[in-house]
Amino acid sequence: MRKTRVRFAPSPTGPLHMGGVRTALYNYLYAKQNGGDFIIRIEDTDSHRFVPGAEQYIIEALRWCGIIPDEGVDDEGRVVETPSERHPHAPYRQSQRRGIYRKYAEQLVEAGYAYYAFDSAEELAAERAKAEAAGQTFIYNHENRMHLRNSLTLSAAETEKLLAETTDWTVRFKMPEDEIVEMDDLIRGHIEVNTRTLDDKVLWKRADELPTYHLANIVDDHLMEITEVIRGEEWLPSLPLHYLLYRAFGWTDSQPRFAHLSLLLKPVGNGKLSKRDGDKLGFPVFPLRWVNEAGEVTRGYREDGYFPEAFVNMLALLGWNPGTEQEIFSMDELVKAFSMDKVQKAGAKFNPDKAKWFNKEYLRMKSDEELAKLFVPVLAEHGVEDDFGHLVKVVHLIKERATFVADFWDIAWYLFKAPETYAEKDTAKFWKPENVEPALKVADFIAAYEGEWNKDSLEAALEDFIRANEWPMGKVMNCIRLALTGSGSGLGIADIVILIGKKEFSSRIEKAFANSASISL
Ligand code: GLU
């Protein structure tokens, strides 16, 4: 039995979409479940699509999620460039491995599985235009290759000369003309594809001395002893070529098994979940905030206040089901429960409300102290500094109502500062003389209250007092709450009084009803 080794192989072409995070997560869970290694490899051989900062973004996003690689990235989050015991296959950036691939491309040419192609970009463009004019699509394959400029049609001497004297040639795979490729996918089962419609993909380019994705991917998966390739379904059309490459190299015995994950779908309608859906419906589709070169900001789950555990839990269940009713899974529980045979073939519809639900659940599971710590910077943004013990009590009281830590402020800001205005709609309703008068009496009662200083005792005493005077309980309470919070809604009076203290309570009552004469007008 070979040790399980899987890899996440992103191309640094921009921020990592949440679908990409899910691919990394499933790789990670699979590796850990099997006691294996999770490797990161950066596939950056397409220099035209390289985006500065994307590599760091990807690594940081995975670290935020707790998806920590065993190999390829060091503990500081840097892609490893020099081999060591822990990272024997360094460098892990394909652009830095460029010296490796040429001999593999040449090996295929020598064995007759590939050939040199000398067609210039202009010649190929002309072929495309010609085919288009005839209502067809040009494909570089068995139908056309014998009319084009390559080592299959030119003499050996001419080929040698062009190889030596020109620099814009490529190595192309010689796709079999009519063969059924039989493949197996861990999620999709057995697949058969006829090679008739497939093209002679470029494997290596002399111009930049770089391999294309296909060659680099196969060679590196082989050298890095990858046992399973778990990736997005957009790579399924490349699978026949990859199978044929393994065969051509004579590596079928150690060929990895493949699993192609379905897409994440839009919350409404059909199609792939895109950044535009997020912008339109107001939810993030990227793990972290991303600022592009033009300074445009794309929101991220982290900055929107999601807990990484909630994000990971939600992602894990987008396309995999545990086969039970359980929804809340820690990373360790996911590692134990995950199984490839319960990964669904169909696309998974993303539901932003469910993402919020997960966050709410994780918020409730956190201790009051932990949440209070997270609340400190939110308070600071509002210019409030508070005693930590007091903060813990506040958090304890309001955490059930919040989805995000930032909600604490919206729910309970009035526990930290007095209201400056009073909602008109509510004042019209509650600040009537018949309510204000008893409210002032209740205020005196509280100021003089000497019973136990906790919510239950104070609440009981208040209710007894109001009932004994036969005042309308709800109206009087709302009248007071309005004075304390600026609106008719909020926490219970006793809770507020306990948390802001008698002195602050009296001052707010005084301020609100200083003009009680005007109220009676
Ligand atoms: N570089 C490819 C990507 O960014 C990797 C595909 C694969 O995992 O084979 O999706």
Tell me the C-alpha to C-alpha distance, in Å, between residue 173 and each of 51, 95, 97, 105, 120.
Answer: 29, 21, 21, 9, 17
Question: Tokens 């957009």 identify what position?
Answer: 234
374 lines ligand 1 (CB under 6 A): no
Q: Give the integer Cα–Cα distance in Å for 18 and 23.
A: 9
Of the candidates 498, 496, 516, 509, the one whose C-alpha atom is nearest the C-alpha of residue 442 is: 509
Structure tokens at 168: 């814009």
Domain total of the chain:
4
Tell me the C-alpha to C-alpha distance, in Å, between residue 179 and each of 192, 244, 404, 434.
Answer: 10, 11, 56, 91
Shortest-distance Cα residue to atom 10 of ligand 1: 10
CATH number at residue 442: 1.10.10.350
Q: Give the integer Cα–Cα distance in Å for 277 and 282.
A: 8
217 lines ligand 1 (CB under 6 A): yes
Contact by Cβ (8 Å): 489, 482: no
Which atom, in ligand 1's list, is nearest to the CA of 43? 1
Evaluate if residue 285 carries a pLDDT over 50.
Answer: yes
Residue 277 within a domain:
yes
Q: How many Å lie between the centroid of ligand 1 and the Cα of residue 16?
A: 12
Q: Give the integer Cα–Cα distance in Å for 111 and 251.
A: 14
Please report the DSSP string for 254-297 in residue order.
GPPEEEEEPPEE-SSSSSB--HHHHHHHT---BSS-EE-TT--E
Structure tokens at 284: 């993030």
11 lines ligand 1 (CB under 6 A): yes
Specify whether 124 is located in the same domain as 237: yes
Taking only the tens place, the pLDDT of each residue in 393-421 is 999 999 999 999 999 999 999 999 999 99
Residue 92 within a domain:
no
Which atom, in ligand 1's list, is nearest to the CA of 23? 8
Shortest-distance Cα residue to atom 5 of ligand 1: 9
- Coil, strand or helix at 198: coil
Specify whether 116 is located in the same domain as 257: yes
Specify whether 249 is located in the same domain as 345: no
Specify whether 266 is located in the same domain as 333: yes
Last residue of a domain, one of 246, 261, 276: 261
User: What are the residue numbers of the active site?
Assistant: 275
Range of the domain at 499: 418-518
Taking only the tens place, the pLDDT of each residue in 42-77 is 999 988 888 999 999 999 999 999 999 999 999 999
Specify whether 281 is located in the same domain as 345: yes
Q: How many Å lie between the centroid of ligand 1 and the Cα of residue 23?
A: 10
Last residue of a domain, one of 261, 284, 316: 261
Last residue of a domain, one of 261, 284, 303: 261
Evaluate if residue 480 carries a pLDDT over 60.
Answer: yes
Q: What pLDDT does residue 488 have?
A: 85
Residue 159 within a domain:
yes
Which atom, in ligand 1's list, is nearest to the CA of 10? 4
Taking only the tens place, the pLDDT of each residue in 151-174 is 999 999 999 999 999 999 999 999
Amino acid making up residue 98: R
231 lines ligand 1 (CB under 6 A): yes
Specify whether 327 is located in the same domain as 346: yes
Specify whether 430 is located in the same domain as 317: no
Specify whether 301 is located in the same domain as 389: no
